[in-house]
Amino acid sequence: MESLMDLQGVFVTGTDTEIGKTTVSAGLLRAWARQGLRTAGYKPVAAGTELREGRRVNDDVERLRAASSVPLAPQEACCFLLDEPCAPHIAARLAGVRLELAPLLTGARALMPRCDRLVVEGVGGFRVPLNENEDTADLAVALGLPVVLVVGLRLGCLSHALLTAEAVCARGLRLAGWVGNQVDPGMAHREDNLATLTDLMRRRFGAPRLGVVPRLPRDEADAVASHLDLGVLSA
């Protein structure tokens, strides 16, 4: 499978589902746009839609479109939009379609000439099945982009982060950095956990901390961007 290594962008994965991948992806898009770069957000597969103004939409896809500086049609920002809010391969089966890597990569390639930074958001954690043979880790490898890991800050995040980092590096991918996202506002010993993550992720995987996103009154991409430091992205 042809690689997209020459494309400047990142693949955003997470320690779990519902831990802020879209929040951070939108923040990355706005942070790069502030630098005058053309940005495009792409979520190859999205599961779970609702009817808005006569159109089935997914909130994650709409947030990526809104945060992109390049205008994107819904079908450009997402290749497979599935109605059922469940694991993608199950949602696809219920919709009577089959998820394959080829169209997911075609969607990414179509955006390449139009942007300076492509942010590809994964689905759930790093290894979510797409079909009986392939998962989202295979997608990340085929894309060949550096990986940004979103760590949901809550009890258990240390093991989840280290396991995911190991899986990313085992696939031969570069872990360019990680972002902590405060999913549990009452997390005990937050700063101690952050210090441990910052040390271990740098020493073991060469991955710097790109920022920590607190609980914000409104989940706006520009506000998230203010908590990110892309200058420390691993080269």
* Alpha-carbon gap, residue 155 to 45, rounded angstroms: 28
In this prediction, residue 191 carries a pLDDT of: 97
Using DSSP, state whether 55 is helix, strand or coil: strand
Give the full edge-to-edge strand order of the sheet including 209-213. 39-42, 117-121, 9-14, 147-152, 175-181, 209-213
Burial of residue 78, with CB atoms counted within 10 A of its CB: 0-12 exposed, 13-18 middle, 19 or more buried: buried
pTM: 0.95
Q: Which residues are catalytic?
A: 43
In this prediction, residue 219 carries a pLDDT of: 66
4-40 pLDDT, tens digit per residue, is 444 489 999 999 999 999 999 999 999 999 999 999 9
Listed in sequence order, the residues at least 6 apart from 151 whose beta carbon sits closer than 8 Å to its beta carbon are 14, 15, 19, 157, 160, 161, 178, 179, 180, 181, 197
In this prediction, residue 234 carries a pLDDT of: 58
In this prediction, residue 1 carries a pLDDT of: 37
In this prediction, residue 149 carries a pLDDT of: 98
Looking at every residue in the chain, the average pLDDT score rounds to 94
73-101 pLDDT, tens digit per residue, is 999 999 999 999 999 999 999 999 999 99
Confidence of residue 217 (pLDDT cuts 50, 70, 90): confident
What's at 136, amino acid-wise? T
In this prediction, residue 2 carries a pLDDT of: 40
171-198 pLDDT, tens digit per residue, is 999 999 999 999 999 999 999 999 999 9
Task: Please report where in the chains the tokens 């609702």 appear, as a residue.
Answer: 50
145-149, 215-219, 221-225: least confident range: 215-219
pLDDT reading at 225 higher than 50: yes
162: tokens are 């280290």
In this prediction, residue 8 carries a pLDDT of: 84
Using DSSP, state whether 93 is helix, strand or coil: helix
